[in-house]
């Protein structure tokens, strides 16, 4: 079956530091990969996505590249801000094997200190 493993948290960084949150996946088909962000008291919202190998998703300074050879989709940002403090979820969805059902990682809590 499908699974997603992401870096355990929590992660605490100073403002303007470089961020990497690791994510690896296992899938039987050809999944699309996603990063979602959850701010306190809110639901998850899509941060970025990539639908095929070597695609790079980007948004709000965050980037992740779909690496099929290493089955990875690591999230990076060059300079984090206090407002980036949130929980980040890596996820995959495979239309070839299910009706758009997403498989989520456990989430990584990021705290950015001024």
For other proteins, the binding residues in 50-109 under the rule CB under 8 A are 89, 91, 93, 95, 98-102, 104, 106-107
Q: How far is the CB of 106 from other proteins (least distance, A)?
A: 5
Q: From the list 1, 42, 69, 70, which residue makes contact with other proteins (rule: CB under 8 A)?
A: 42
Q: Which residues contact 69 (CB under 8 A, 6 or more apart)?
A: none
Residue whose C-alpha is closest to residue 81's, from 7, 16, 11: 16
Q: Return the closest-CA partner of residue 104 out of 10, 20, 23.
A: 23
Residues making contact with other proteins (CB under 8 A): 32, 34, 36, 42-46, 49, 89, 91, 93, 95, 98-102, 104, 106-107
């Amino acid at each position: 079956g499908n699974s997603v493993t992401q870096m355990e948290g929590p992660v605490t960084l100073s403002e303007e530091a470089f961020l990497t949150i690791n994510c690896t996946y296992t899938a039987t088909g050809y999944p699309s990969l996603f990063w979602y962000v959850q701010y306190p008291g809110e639901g998850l919202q899509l941060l970025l996505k990539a639908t095929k190998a070597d695609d790079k998703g980007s948004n709000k300074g965050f980037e992740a590249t779909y690496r099929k050879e290493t089955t990875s989709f690591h999230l990076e940002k060059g300079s984090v801000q206090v407002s980036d403090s949130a929980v980040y979820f890596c996820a995959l969805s495979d239309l070839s094997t299910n009706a758009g059902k997403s498989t989520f990682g456990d989430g990584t809590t990021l705290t950015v200190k001024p």
